[in-house]
Structures are given as structure tokens and as C-alpha cells.
Amino acid sequence: MKSRNVLITGASSPLGEGLIERLLNDYRVEKILAVCDEGCPLTLPENERLATFQIKMRKQRKLHNLLFGAARESQVDVLIHASKVFSTHREGAAVHRYNVETVRSILDFAERHPTIKRLVFWSGAEVYQVQRDLPSLMGEQHPLNMHSGAPQWIRDRVEADVMACTRMGLSHLQIVVLRMAEILAPGCGSQFFDYLQTPICFRPLGFDPMLNFLTIEDASSAIQRSIHAQEQGVFNIPGADTLPLSRAIDRWGRIGIPVPNTVAHYLYTMRRLLRRGDFRYGMNRRRFHFTGILDGRRAADILRYIPSHPIEWPVEFEGEK
Amino acid sequence: MALPPFIARYLGNQLMSKSLRSKLEQLHFRDAGHGYDAFGLHPSFISFGAGITRWPYEKYFRVVSTGHAHLPNEGAAILASNHSGNIPIDGMMLWHDVLRHTTPPRVVRGIADHFVPALPFIGTTFARGGMVGGSRGNVRSLLEAGELLMIFPEGTPGIIKPFKNRYKLQRFRVGHAELAIRHKVPIIPVGIVGAEEQLPSIFSSRRLGRMLGIEAVPIPIFPFPLPVRYHIYYGAPIEVYRDLRSEDADNPEIVARIAGQVQGEVAKLIQKGLKERKGIFV
């Protein structure tokens, strides 16, 4: 099998670190260029196969110089873009530039790059619309969340995802979009992780939808597989944990209290204002009412990805089975 | 709805007969990792459902069913039934009957109208018992997984029709026929007799229904269902895959013909049931 030289953006995030650790143990990957935004602390192991770079990701020129400088010299053939703004508090043009325009620039540069042949883009399940009349098991063709009232956090992600999808097949560049389930870990932009940070979790009265969560190990395994695969396309990457909202709260050792929807909305708005938490109830309202979990059959068939690392839940729940 | 599974199982075990309890120990389902399947089904809630529907099934509606040999013990199939009675007790009785008359017991997956998953408590409770929202994607996933589906092709117009139209089938929707052709699964026609008289309504209010987010709200004459006797007839499977190809699912004429054939078979079973029964309550 052909060896790969890989460039990873978002290397300072827990997913980036987990992925680099995995790729360092992969003999098919020769060189790794780890890129993170300026000011982000990098705690990567010293390794002769690993080179680190800190640049201002939203600056086109810096990105261009990196790709056509160090990346070209290192004969990088796979670019993994796993960098985005996670905070729901940060909004505006700068965030849009980071989340969307950076993807556009990366696509432009990669398409005319002499060595990059493959782009792996980290998208998420949040791009999908969850609705009562839509399938509970969401395939790759599931409708995207184009709701006009969706917050920028969602809109940016949908736009970046669609942009990557529309460029597939238009050049020599092979594009893989990985729509991953929510990674229930800190520093991965997980809304649910933030939701579980308080001892009491309010949830909508009368509803208990199924949720699916991914671990960093499974997410990095999926990216690793997409580096070596030959196919391009969109792939859903579900996790090994599928369980109802109430069970997830229990297993995290929290107390779940069902309250009417409007009360939950009000309480979480107050919490967001007072605690500066990232969880936005309005953004997750439908997900907290209706089941919408990823159907990973395509990834299983083509990438041979099967989730195999369940979450190590902090609390064992005796009455689970 | 956050009844812990062990409480649901305990209650179910208290309410079920010993034979049904031991039968349900053989229940198979596709565990997605935490004891639930991807759509929310949990075996403890199947026990709970079987327990709470036992008394109405055995004592109140005294269900009599025939043609169990047509129920497949494995593999995907669609049960297509008439729908009536203003509240979906017919679905519950059919669900319970299939559980009893299949070995190992099979949970028939009810395909509900879009408004059902949006109903607080009800949507979740039904999902734990195997119901899924009636989107094409859900049905496709279940058929590919080899599940047994329960579809009421008349939809809500069937259940809310006025008493004067009892046992007159409403126009069958064609989705079940299309899916059966595409996925090469048999359709088993089911005729249910008795449900029409359980809760006669004066009229159905569409305006009130719209306010509550459902199609219509029936205004019944009696405040509770009458103790009518249920008769369930399973017809011979319509094996659409024998003469048709998967691509024929895109041919509207063929799909409409198969849906019409299913409607005809259901109508025959109803007529047979009406002829055979000695009275509404006996």
C-alpha cells in the first residue's frame, strides 16, 4: 500500500491530538504536518516524523504559504481539515471566515496543489435536520438543516459541508466529507458534553429521543481509514453508543428533570447568560424531542468503519439492562 | 417518559401470564449497545406492553384470531390492515396477537402517522414498544433489517371515519405496495372486525385536531370503548416479488394495482369476518 504524507489542521484539539497519536503508530503514514491556530497550546509528542506549525488559519496568505511551502516540500498528499470554532458564543464575520472561508480557501488551494490528492473534511451530524416526519436513522441523503432561523454555529457548518460536497468530482482532488456523530468529550464542540456539566439536567417533558455518541478513538479511526481509502464521498460516522436522552443523563451521573419545553428553554438561556456555557437549548430543541441518529452503513461498506470504542461512562447504571 | 427499564420489566412480569413471560424470554431484537435498538425499542417495555394489553386482549375485547400460519417467523414482511375505531386499539391488539402467535415472538413494528412521534409521552411509549414514525427512510431501514411491519394503508382517514361508514375501506395509500416491490417482501393482508363498533363517534373535528397538531379529533358517543369482540384474520401473503422486479416499484400503475389487490384482499377478510361473527359483543 502507498505510504501517505498527511497535513492536519486543528491539531491542538483533542481530536487532532488523538489522530496524530494514531497516525504516528501507522507505518503507512510517513510524515505528519500538524497545524494549529496561533496561540493554541500544542502538546504533541516529539517525533522525527512529526512537524508542527502555528499559523493564523483565517489568513488566506498564511494558509497559502504553508500549503505551497512546507506542505509541497514534504510531498503532502492528504490534507485533513479538522479545525473550526466550537464556541456558540462567538459569532460574526471573523467566525464565519474561520469556519467557512478557510474551507473555501483550502479547497481552492488543494485543487491546484501539485502534491495534495485527497482532502478529508470533518463535518458533523449537526448539519442534518431533525424533524418528526423525517427518518430517525439519517442516511447521507437526509435533508440538511437549512432553517432560516438556525444560529450561525449551524449555518456555517452546513455551508462548509455543502461547499465541500459541491466540489466533489470537479477536479483531480478526492474529497471525503465525514459527518461525525457528536464526540462526547471536552474540546470537541460537543453541545451535549456541556449540557452534562451541571448536576441537574432539564429535559423536555414527555420526550426521550435516542441519541448517538462518538469517542475520539472511533473518530480518529474513521479519519485514518479515509486517508487510506480510494473512494471519495460523504460518509456518516456514528459512534458505538446509542441510547435515550434520559439514560445518557443517568449514566453521566446527573439528575434528569423533565420540564415543559418553554421552561427548559428559559432555564438554559439563563444558564448560558450566567455561566457562559456553550449549550444552547434552542439549537438542540428538536434533537431533544425526536430521534435523529446517523446511519453508518455506507462507511461500514466502503471505509470498513465499524464503531468499536464505546464511551467509558463515568457512572455504571445497574438497571440498564 | 422515563420509566426505568427494570420497573417496566417488573410491571410487565406482574401483569403477564407465566406462558407469555417465558415466551418473551426468547425475544430477539437488534441491540444498538445499551439495551435499546436504534429506534428506541427496549425488551422490558415489550414485556410492559404485553402486560398492560393482556387484560383488554383476553378479557375485554376477547380477541379471536385466525390464519396465524401466514405470519412469518423470520424475515421482513408487511402486515397491511384496515384501521378503525377512533383510537388505535386495533393496532395494540394486532401487536399483542402477533407477539403471541409467532415463535420466537416477533415485535411487529407499527408505522405511525407523522404526528404520533410528536405526541408527548405517547410517542416515546409507543417507540419503546417498537413503533416508528412513518417516513420512507424508517420503513426502508426496518425492511432491510428483516423486521415485520404493521401498516394501516388507510391512514388517519380510516380511523376517524364516521360510524355510518363502518367497514367501508378508505382509499389505500400506495407506499406499502411500493416498498414491498422494491424490497421484495410479502404483504400479509389483515382484516380486523369489531374495532369499528368500539367507540362510535358523533363526528370528527378537524379544527380541534389542527389545534392539537393531529389530523382530527373524534367526538365519541361513549366516554370509553365498548367491550366489543375483536376478530383478526390473517390472509395468505401476497408475494409481489414473484412476478415483479425491484424496478417495478417506480411504475405507478403497477404500484397502484398491487395496492388495489391488497385492499381487495383486506376487504374479503372483513366480509368473511362480518359473515362469521354472531354479534358485535359475542
Provide the pLDDT for residue B2.
Answer: 59
Q: CA B100, CA B207: separation in Å to the nearest integer?
A: 39
Query: Among residues B53, B79, B55, which one has the least CA distance to residue B68?
Result: B79
What is the average pLDDT value for chain A, to the nearest integer? 92
Taking contacts as CB-CB distances below 8 angstroms, the residues of chain A near B2 are 208, 246, 256, 258
Q: Are A26 and A14 in contact (CB under 8 A)?
A: no
Q: How confident is the model at residue A1 (pLDDT cuts 50, 70, 90)?
A: low
∠A268-A273-A274 over CA atoms, to 5°?
Answer: 95
Taking contacts as CB-CB distances below 8 angstroms, the residues of chain A near B35 are 320-321
For residue A118, the cross-strand partners are A78, A174
pLDDT exceeds cutoff 80 at A318: no
In this complex, do B1 and A256 lie within 8 Å of one another by their Cβ atoms? no
Count of pairs with CB atoms under 8 A, one residue in A, one in B: 92
Q: Are B161 and B84 in contact (CB under 8 A)?
A: yes
- Averaged pLDDT for residues B143-150: 96
Taking contacts as CB-CB distances below 8 angstroms, the residues of chain B near A135 are 133, 135-138, 141
Q: How confident is the model at residue A319 (pLDDT cuts 50, 70, 90)?
A: very low
C-alpha distances out from residue B54 to A314, B47, B63, B191, B195, Å: 39, 10, 10, 21, 17
Provide the pLDDT for residue B159.
Answer: 87
Q: How confident is the model at residue B182 (pLDDT cuts 50, 70, 90)?
A: very high
Provide the pLDDT for residue B219.
Answer: 85
φ, ψ of residue A246 in degrees (nearest 5): -65, -40
Assembly ipTM:
0.88
Taking contacts as CB-CB distances below 8 angstroms, the residues of chain B near A205 are 120
Q: Are A278 and A88 in contact (CB under 8 A)?
A: yes
- Averaged pLDDT for residues B175-196: 96
pLDDT exceeds cutoff 90 at B80: yes
Q: Are A142 and A129 in contact (CB under 8 A)?
A: yes
- Report pLDDT digits (tens) over B5-49: 899 999 999 999 999 999 999 998 999 989 999 999 999 999 999
- Averaged pLDDT for residues B50-65: 96
- Averaged pLDDT for residues B191-220: 85
In this complex, do A291 and B40 lie within 8 Å of one another by their Cβ atoms? yes
Burial (Cβ within 10 Å: 0-12, 13-18, ≥19) of residue B157: middle
Nearest by CB to residue B33, choosing from A241, A256, A290, is A241
- Lowest mean pLDDT, pick from A75-89, A136-150, A304-318, B115-129: A304-318
Interface contact B130, partner A, CB < 8 A? no
pLDDT exceeds cutoff 90 at B206: no
Q: How confident is the model at residue B1 (pLDDT cuts 50, 70, 90)?
A: low
In this complex, do B34 and A289 lie within 8 Å of one another by their Cβ atoms? no
The chain A residue lying nearest B1, using CA atoms, is: A206
In this complex, do A244 and B141 lie within 8 Å of one another by their Cβ atoms? no
Taking contacts as CB-CB distances below 8 angstroms, the residues of chain A near B212 are none
- Lowest mean pLDDT, pick from A166-180, A244-258, B198-212: B198-212
In this complex, do A206 and B137 lie within 8 Å of one another by their Cβ atoms? no
Provide the pLDDT for residue A320.
Answer: 46
pLDDT exceeds cutoff 60 at A296: yes
Q: How confident is the model at residue A321 (pLDDT cuts 50, 70, 90)?
A: very low
Q: How confident is the model at residue A316 (pLDDT cuts 50, 70, 90)?
A: low
Q: Are A5 and A203 in contact (CB under 8 A)?
A: no
Beta strands A210-214 and A241-244 are: antiparallel
Which of residues 194 through 213 in chain A touch B, CB cutoff 8 A? 205-210
Q: Are A168 and A235 in contact (CB under 8 A)?
A: no
Nearest by CB to residue A243, choosing from B2, B36, B120, is B36
φ, ψ of residue B205 in degrees (nearest 5): -95, 110
- Averaged pLDDT for residues A4-21: 94
Taking contacts as CB-CB distances below 8 angstroms, the residues of chain B near A321 are 5, 35
Provide the pLDDT for residue B267.
Answer: 97
Q: CA A38, CA A55: separation in Å to the nearest integer?
A: 5
Q: CA A271, CA A291: separation in Å to the nearest integer?
A: 25
- Averaged pLDDT for residues A248-263: 94
